[in-house]
Amino acid sequence: MLQKSRKEEMIKDLEKTIKESESVVFVNFHGMKVSDETILRRELRNQGVDYKVSRKTLLKRALLKKAEGEIPTLSGEVAIACSKDETASSREIYNFQKTHKGILDILGGIFEGKFVGKEKMMEIATIPSREVLLSKIAFLLKSPMQRLALAVNEVVKKK
């Protein structure tokens, strides 16, 4: 049994982590092997995502008045994945979930200051990263300019 002072310290740590994060994902990791968790933590750390396992009661206390709406149902063993990037935490959990079927389950999260359910977090998880979106925009802008240059070049050849 944890001492009251240790519980208060854990709650303050969770509150600080949640406050500093742009998005938080609640994850059920029931049945996860230590080797899989090690891989998960390494992949999350490489993407700048913080991963913390917590007791549900302490997590619920830390979440009080941190966002609008109702806290999603936290079933099973619960961890949180947090990041300063709005989509990174949900995207990385989703990617791990795709490669390691049946190990993780997204329960919900906090996005833009509101508690959101599983469905909304899954939608957010499928948004590509900022770098991918910027490269797509660059490609879309490049294509018309390239066609214009080819058309101008053909006009010059005819004259």
| pLDDT tens-digit readout, 100-149 | 888 888 999 998 888 988 888 888 888 887 888 888 888 888 888 788 78
Amino acid identity, residue 82?
Answer: C
Same domain, 12 and 31: yes
Is residue 39 domain-shared with residue 56, that is, in the same domain? yes
- The rounded distance, in Å, linking the Cα atoms of 103 and 86 is 23
Taking 90 as the threshold, does the pLDDT of residue 69 lie above it?
no
Categorise residue 149: left if φ over 0, alpha if ψ from -120 to 50, beta otherwise: alpha
Give the model's pLDDT for residue 1.
Answer: 67
Examine the domain organization and report whether 74 and 141 are in the same domain. no
The total of structural domains in the chain comes to 2
Domain enclosing residue 74, as ranges? 4-127
Q: Which helix (H) or strand (E) holds 144?
A: helix 130-158
- Are residues 66 and 87 in contact, defined by beta-carbon separation less than 8 angstroms? no
* CATH number where 112 lies: 3.30.70.1730
Instruction: Quote the tokens at residue 127.
Output: 């948004």
Same domain? 123 vs 137: no
CA distances from 147 to 133, 142, 153, 154, 157 (A): 22, 9, 10, 11, 15
User: Are both 153 and 75 inside the same structural domain?
Assistant: no
Both tokens assigned to 97:
């979930």
Provide the pLDDT for residue 130.
81
The reply to whether 123 and 140 lie within a common domain is no
**Phi and psi for 52 in degrees, rounded to 5?**
-130, 135
Q: Are residues 84 and 138 in the same domain?
A: no
The average pLDDT across 51-79 equals 87
Answer yes or no: do 85 and 120 share one domain. yes
Q: pTM score > 0.85 for this model?
A: no
Kindly state whether residues 28 and 69 are assigned to the same domain: yes
Residues 47 and 60 placed together within one structural domain of the fold: yes
